[in-house]
Amino acid sequence: MFTFPIEAVRRVIARGKQDAVANGGFRTPDQGTKTGEDDQPGFWLIGDQGVYIMSNGKLAEGQNPLVVYSTECHPKGDPDWWDYKRRHFGRDDGVEFIDAGLLIPSFDRNFGATHLGIQLSENEISFTLITR
């Protein structure tokens, strides 16, 4: 499982929305910066050098997206990040889009939750709200 502070997830989603308003829409991993009907607020769960979430709003020239690493899989400061990523995300790099509409209502109903847990299986992604 990969965990992220809920406030950080909210910031990533908000940043994506701000970037989309300022720069003309949302990016999708397989369409680059193309805006279309399926573009929506959310974030990408990415596994490559660690596992992290990234804002998905279209970016201005030279601008960087907001990135937040999972608690368990940050390449700086976690010597076991590669093994953890491989065991829980897979050997290959990958990107999964997470729709903000799937998470924000749960966050808003569960004020005591502090972290979002994301677990990947071969066929699905599941979410858990965690209180720490």
The structure's pTM equals 0.91
Residue 70 has a pLDDT of 96
User: 38 pLDDT band (50/70/90 cuts)?
Assistant: low
Topology at the third CATH level for domain 2-25+38-130: DNA Polymerase III; Chain A, domain 2 (3.10.150)
pLDDT at 56 over 90: yes
Dist. CA 43–CA 13, nearest whole Å: 6
Dist. CA 5–CA 52, nearest whole Å: 12
The label of the residue with tokens 């009907």 reads: 37
Domain ranges of the chain: 2-25+38-130
23, 59 contact by CB (below 8 A): yes
